[in-house]
Amino acid sequence: MRSTARHSIVRLLSQHAFLIIICLAALYPLWFIASTALRSNAAYQLNPTGFPSHPTLTSLRNMLFHEPLPRWMWNSFLVTVSSVAVSTFFALLAAYAAVFGRFRGHSFFISTSVALMVVPPVTLLVPMFVFMVNTGMVNHLQSVIVFYTGLLVPFAIFFMTGFFRTIPQELIEAASSEGAGPFTVFRRIVLPLSGAASFTLIVVQAIWVWNELLIALVFLQNESARTLMAGLTQFQGRYVTNEPLVLAGALLSILPVVVLYLSGQRFFVRGLTAGIGK
Amino acid sequence: MAFAFGFPLVQVVRDSFYAGNFSSPIWVGLDNYRGVLSDPAFRQSIFNNMKLLLAVPIMLALGLVIALVLNDRIRGGRHYQSVVFLPYVLPATAIGIAFSFLLQENGVLNRSLRKAHLGGLAYDWLGNSHLAIVSVGGLVIWQQLGFAVVVFTAALLALPPETAEAARIDGAGWWQLQLRVLVPQIRPIIELLTVIQVITVISWVFNYVYVLTAGGPGFSSSVMELYIWRSFSSGADGTAASVAVMLLGMASVLIGLSLWVRKQAVAT
């Protein structure tokens, strides 16, 4: 018995040691970003690691007051809010129709969504760009909003149909047998039940849009229209010898995501892994 | 959906048969494809996508081990899991920039190695034409690992406890229990995640490559997406479109496979 007890203690310790190493590896780059952003450039060039002994807010202040970063952040915010709002609204209605309306071909419609979910956006880039040039939307935020919305919708539909299927059909039938029209049922019964699911969906889509780079890079090429991620890559090229300044920008772009993650972790986990669930 | 996918999907195939820019297209038939296939930069790009495939088994194996350990009802398991998942939600651009500073010739990693008298291990991670794509693979693993962990943990949690209990009573050791009893039961999920991650490294790695190496040095760490982007930015729309069509072809096969695997996974 004693040997098995010792054995299990060794196992427990090694398990924790293993997990702690993994966690440190996951966190180190974040620590690097945060600690570097608080270092002066001179201090960084001397010693890039360790605890910042003379923390300074110079880089962060420069980013916020002397660089276009706030503008880009605002652009990213606008783009995120509009494309997520449109796609969520559209997906709620479409999924409702597909699950409860059961129109002809609804299952084909849903499996099409599942397939489109993983179509690489890069393959759609060239024609979409031509289209945006022809309609004069290039270099305007609308161009990426339209494209992002289109890219988000398949996942949103997939996600919402998955959720709607868990709502008991009897509930809907009972309501409609009492004379409630499809819109009333949607507004009075389905919507109030979908609060948590919609929120999860919104979080996942918002993260995706906020983090997107390729499309923003191609569609928004003038300085004032850039999104935050596209702007960050500009800093990377512009301030090659001022790492703390560039990482101050990176830190500011990560911060909203981390705050959101810490406040609603379960929504992230559930939503981001939904593509793989049943 | 018809607008965002239908229209460009048709258009990109059409464009791939034309040369010149979109305002004055010239029909060239399959010439774009011929040109691309004989371009060493394209071959290098597609080869790099294949190299990145090696990241998938490493990531999944590591993710599986972490999930199995977490599945042991370990204390603080939830906290470990939320830390491991964190990288997955962060913007790849910001993280990639940080990694580029860490991995530079005179970056943090090499300076620390030299300080620890391990200077022999200090390679030029981003500037060496063989290592650059390996660094990209490392970044992909770093960011995607948490996803695998969470998916596997959820799958393990959903298993009926009886089989594991029975195996334990029969005297199965820890590794035996994991590999013979638990892992086979979540096989459908492992397969599905494999397909999804293969799609990722074939067609969703632009971010990583762009900020970490920009495809360099030369084309040595370029991938198909970056090749499309480069051709497109230099005005070779037809070339970009023909690579996009090829990429789409590969992706469709994989997407078909993923739908099929998904069906199997749901059925069991």
The verdict on whether omega for the bond into residue B217 sits within 30 degrees of 0, i.e. cis, is yes
* Fold adopted by B28-267: MetI-like fold (1.10.3720)
Residues from chain B that touch A217, judged by Cβ atoms under 8 A, are: 210, 229
* pLDDT tens over chain A, length 278 residues: 456 777 788 888 999 999 999 999 999 999 999 999 999 998 888 888 878 888 899 999 999 999 999 999 999 999 999 999 999 999 999 898 888 877 778 888 888 888 888 788 888 888 888 888 888 888 999 999 999 999 999 999 989 998 998 888 888 888 888 888 888 888 888 888 888 889 989 998 999 999 999 999 999 988 899 999 999 999 998 888 899 999 999 999 999 999 989 888 888 888 887 766 54
What torsion, rounded to 10 degrees, do the Cα atoms B25, B27, B31, B36 define? 30
Residue B27, strand partner residues: B18
Could you tell me if B105 lies within 8 Å of chain A, comparing CB atoms? no
What torsion, rounded to 10 degrees, do the Cα atoms A151, A154, A157, A162 define? -130
Contact A126 B241 (CB under 8 A): yes
Please report the number of interchain residue pairs, chain A to chain B, with beta-carbon separation below 8 angstroms: 232
Residues from chain B that touch A207, judged by Cβ atoms under 8 A, are: 89
Residue with tokens 């998942």: B85
Picking from A125, A249, A250, the nearest residue to B228 by CB comes out as A125
**Could you write out the DSSP letters of every residue in B25-78?**
-EE-TTHHHHHHHT-HHHHHHHHHHHHHHTHHHHHHHHHHHHHHHHTTT-TTHH
* pLDDT tens over chain B, length 268 residues: 555 666 677 777 767 766 655 556 677 778 888 888 888 999 999 999 999 999 999 999 999 999 999 998 888 888 999 999 999 999 999 999 999 999 988 888 998 898 888 878 888 899 898 999 999 999 999 999 999 999 999 999 888 888 888 888 888 888 888 888 899 999 989 998 998 899 889 988 999 999 999 888 889 999 999 999 998 888 888 888 889 999 989 988 988 888 788 777 766 6
Could you tell me if A78 lies within 8 Å of chain B, comparing CB atoms? no
Distinct helix (H) and strand (E) counts, chain A: 15, 0
CB A69 within 8 A of CB A231: yes
Contact B74 A122 (CB under 8 A): no
Side-chain-facing half-sphere of B91: CA atoms under 13 Å: 33
Q: Which amino acid, B57?
A: P
Contact A123 B70 (CB under 8 A): no
> Which of B265, B59, B185, B154 minimizes the C-alpha distance to A273?
B154
pLDDT at A108: 84
CA distance B130 to chain A (A): 23
CB B11 within 8 A of CB A125: no
